Structure 1
Amino acid sequence: MSVNGQRPEYRLLAELEEHFDRLVEQTDALVATWQASGASAWSFENEMADAIWLRHVLLDVWYQDGQDGRATRSHVGLVAANEKVMEAVARVNATKKAFAALLAEIRREAPTLIPEIKAILPFRQPALHNHLKGTGLARLHLKQCWRAIPLAEAPVARIRLAWYASGRSIKRLTVREAEQKLLALDSEAPHVRIQLQRLAGIPDGEPLAQVQSQAPLMRANLFYRAPLEDGRSRRAMNIALPLFVPSLDGRLPDHNLPPSHPPETRTRARRSDERLEDTAFLPSLRVYRYR
């Protein structure tokens, strides 16, 4: 019986278990369909880009010891795919989307279920869990469960891969929100008091920007064989999982081999219209003023 229109916890958990089982089964079917097609694949991290590799990276849903809970592991690669394989990818991505939506509902309505979910789901798939025997308790990395498999929507002539190490997320803050975040720190600390005084010296209506640098990631620049319906002939996309590319003959398009590690310094020129000041206004919060 639901309360206030909410579904009971056992129903939410049962549905998530069903989505997880379907996700694993559909991923296995995807790998089998690709293997049967005899198509090519390339892995950035592994010399053998075969079905064993593909299944491993698509079902890499575990935390590793010492892994930051906010970080996910990347598995860069390219997979040539016929129509049946592309349809299988679409089914897996649809299940991932449903899994993410249900997980978001659980976080809102029954957040205490999350630890139970991480403990229970791995044991529903013994083949997934077998390789963890003797390594202690495994923890499920929920984001790695639902992140979508990248795919090109049309045949590609060539792909250029490059590290993108200048990414950052920017969140707008009001002066009041910044003040509340500072007060949540040790408000008696001298460096926090200095920042509170600095904040008090600007207009209440001035917008501020909280900046979070993002980890380096691989970006694929796709050059299509023919323009898409909207006229585009190329597309740039971030790839954390193997990119599936339509292929009638099972071969991959021309592609480059990017450096093994991201650059240590910024490689892109700073935009001339960049609107944030160079120095943080509130260093403890990584908050900047606009120019």
Structure 2
Amino acid sequence: MNTAKSTATAFTLLYLLWGCEGAQLPTINGFNLQALVNAGSKVVEANRDYTEPEEVAMGHSVASVLLGAARLDPNQPLQRYVNRVGRWVANQTERRELAWHFGVLDDTNINAYAAPGGYIFVTRGLINLMENEAELAGVLGHEIAHVLRQHHLKAMRSGSSQQAFSELVGFAAERYRHRSGDAMKGEMAKRFLATTQELYTRGLDRGDEFEADRMGVILAARAGYDPFALMAVLQKIEQRKPGDRALSLMFKTHPAPADRLMAIERTLGDVKLPELAIGERRFQAQFGR
């Protein structure tokens, strides 16, 4: 039996084992295990597309893992501001009706993350590098593109991530047979946490990152922002000192900034654009600069 079929079988087995008791899997440490299993019984098959409810359920659990690693920044006006900018950029896409969620993580590292179903996070460390709203829009556009192209879902359905999810649900089904109760539920949460962390510390394919850059600058331009602003952020990242610990994960999970800059330059070429907004005053007002 191939990995995809065995994974689907394991999800289905766990669902049936729990369902025969008439009970629902609980939410543990923010992980909606019932929603995850309901989604997983269908979506792990290599040739099966995700439905939107399945995608959102998976994304909610993944977002819980990210929030477990770093809490949201307590600056509520900043959170509302980032959500307004993010939703305006997302409104320029074919998935404007998706329930998009944006958040700033209270983390000095420089990075941004997307989870399936419209969950997007940017670290305070990356926000602190920015000088205007167009730069924020460019970064959020990049992450929005990951959701639009379902890059993380594709990664979950292939390679080592698919094997990891197979092991997760197989383990859960086996433990349930032995009626290990809360201990099993806790282990399920730990396994899902480890599986998700493995995906986000390994990163996506380089091609996915380049595609997200291309789409990100286009989405920013559609929203009325200077599309070159994403390049400005990448230039600032490139200028940081080699070995900067705040950039260690970004450099591990993304192509080199210089390579991304060249790819964006090829995308934009000699495009003539009207004067577009950078939103410097609105952005600076969030920090009292």
Q: Which structure has the greater CA radius of gyration?
A: 1
Greater share of strand: 1
Could you tell me the TM-score, scaled by structure 2's length?
0.21
Question: Relative contact order (alpha carbons < 8 A, sep ≥ 6): 1 or 2 greater?
Answer: 1
